[in-house]
Structure 1
Amino acid sequence: MNQEHAWRSAIMHCIANPTEVGTDNAYEYYPDGLLVVENGLIKAIGHAEELLPTLAPETQITHHPDGLILPGFIDTHIHYPQTDIIGAYGEQLLEWLNKYTFPEEGKFADKHYATEVAKRFLDELLKNGTTTALVFGTVHKTSVDAFFEEASARDLRMICGKVLMDRNAPDFLTDTPESGYQESKELIEKWHNTGRLHYAITPRFAPTSTPEQLALAGKLLNEYDDVYMHTHLSENVQECEWVQSLFPESKHYLDVYDHHNLLSERSVFAHGIHLCDEEMQRLADTQSSISFCPTSNLFIGSGLFDLAKADLFKVNVGMGTDVGGGTSFSMFTTLNEAYKVTQLRGQNLDPIKSLYMATLGGAKALQLQDKIGNLAVGTEADFVVVNTQATPLLKTRTERATSIQDTLFALMILGDDRAIQATYSHGQCVFQNT
């Protein structure tokens, strides 16, 4: 049976970092394009008039004349157990954790509860066009099992990890260095590289792990050379001061993780707002990445990420929604806030750079650029069909667009989940806006 299927629409994807090669060399755009998929992989991409004659007669073609096909979005930092506390009112980071986050995460000892939240969480990601995410579980092993079971059932490329937290947290949310190490090891053996799933070693952040636990996290990272490390870094001024008091021998916040061998090309640090030059350089030297989480940074009042500084030091940056401190699952909304953060920094965020960070840049942060992040031939067919006329305002704005950059910018500023017509993972439709 022929497994070939083609989608005809405007198509756009990034092929390089605009900061490195220039905006015009960083993307490919086909105003009337064709994306050909076979057995879950991209077989061809190009202009429709050139590719249509090459198709087998029985190939099914789906046409979206008002659509724009983009790669599936990649969320490099999000907490699935915080799905139901999104939009919780009025606290900064440390107070927010104690008032909202920790009580909610305590519920994830219950496998049934964790499974129901995981289902809703994945539904939200897919209706917003996000096909891959780097995800926090809770301290409970069951929370990670529940998440991976649901992601596996949908054949999604997802990364998750059990939180490591052995101090400065409620008793019902703490493990020990030894139990955290052992349970993480068991989860790695069970889930890492199973299907399209991967594991991330996940210390919550330096204040909630003892040096002994951080050392064992570093040991795990060394024992499994292709697992990820996912944590928070330099989000809040008060947090940074707390880290310095807990680890007085460290030069700075990043040095705590560095001392415990947690920096690597597979390490992703959420936020990175208050970093000195030395920290930026060290991230670059180790090929570690930052997840830029603008909706969360603004909502919790943490500060304004310095994207230009990260680019100067050649630190790879992906986008993160950081739900539930972040206020939207939508990558369009997240890029909207990212643009405003850079404006407040006196910088300017080009829409091509925005799309890069939400797709190929995220894939590079996860060392998955050979599989996802753009629509190159041979990569997995994770893509989104965007309806550029999804709302009356978006329709009138995009009809006036003079370039693909202008269309993208309109989607960034005016788009949300309503603009996602369909989401495909591994060539299969996993969301359809009816």
Structure 2
Amino acid sequence: MSATSRMQKAAPTTAKAARNTKAAARTVSTAAETVSAPRRDLDPAAMATTDALETAPPIQTKVLEVDPNWITFSAPSAVRNGAAQDPLAHLNAVPTITDPRGITALQEATRWLTVEQQVIGLPTETVYGLAGDARSSVAVSRIFAAKRRPSDNPLIVHVASLTMLEDLVGEAAITPVHRRVMAAYWPGPLTLLFPIRAGVLPPTVTAGQSTVAVRFPAHPVARALIAVSGCPLAAPSANASGRPSPTLASHVVRDLEGRIPLVLDAGQCACGLESTVLSVEDVARPVVLRPGGVTVEQLAVTLGVDVACHSGHVADAATPAAPGMKYRHYSPRARVIVVENSTPAAVKAVCGRYKRVGVLRTVSPVAVPGTVDFDARADPAQELFRALRWLDDQGVEAIVVEGMADAHVGRAFMNRVRKAASEIMDARAVTWAAVVSSTSSSTR
């Protein structure tokens, strides 16, 4: 079943809520980005907005359910009549909302976005986004302030028609290579970089860079809201900066209640990981800057050339070309230990280091006795962030994540868990019986 089909079937819900072994472990910084990002990383407008948020009384955060099945899209009449040959003509489809509750919810969301220049929680097929009018410096500063997001971390702009994209970047900026991948993967979980068009977006959207990241979401609610409001929406994930991305409306409320006025609830996100970000500036060597819902292997087939994948490491003083490249992300309160090339013996050994430990299973068919278990084997990518949040809520000291093969969707999964990790271990590099023996007396 496709991601879009699964998403359309999702029902709205507010959702329920050591010592290192030197040969086996690679330790990374345990200083995760906390809810309080360094003030120096915020631009003056975002700092002023942050001050206002911190000193003002909390605002009421309203949650409105919107069933994706209330929304359909019709192709333009020229396409229906067979008059158009443009492979991108389907991107100008028009939404129809069939339920009055959906109309009311989208009207209220539009008012917050346009009249109030506010930001709201919005479902997409990847993760829930914190959406504001990308053309409004006020709305953009509110995005950074609500998330406490560093200002050198650029935003992705979401559009809902080819016309909106052309207005945003100019028709000349959309190259034949862009068009080829857009025809294959839009609407969907793929973000593309385009040269910016002077005077259209505030520089805070792009962190002052010469390119802007743009995506055309597949989720009916996101598509319909963008179309109804007429706003291209800047929308990073709707979580406090550094925390696991939200894949349920309840996750958004948990992180941002009192800081935003509205969350649209359309159930669990179908993909569960953020979009792939692709640069085609060098047409002979396209580069995936962040792996996601569209795989490197798929893009290589579509483009007919090798597609490189960025290492994911960006120098502290550098500005990342796309979100998700520089800062530590996706971290729960508990320590996250990633076991690469995982085996049941390795996972059991690591669990023995802690009194209360959670396990996120992607491979093993049987839970480790005495642990808090989350079985994500059916769809590890979709379940990753929900699992991290749920295990964290169980009060575990540590979360052991079974690694996946670093290819196809596993590449995106491993990118996220490595950024969340306090420790990364390779199951092939140690005798696990020795680890059990050496750590059995641990009081952690």
Q: Give TM-score, length-normalised by structure 1.
A: 0.31
Decide which structure has greater strand share. Answer: 1
Question: Greater helix share, 1 or 2?
Answer: 1
TM-score by length of 2: 0.30
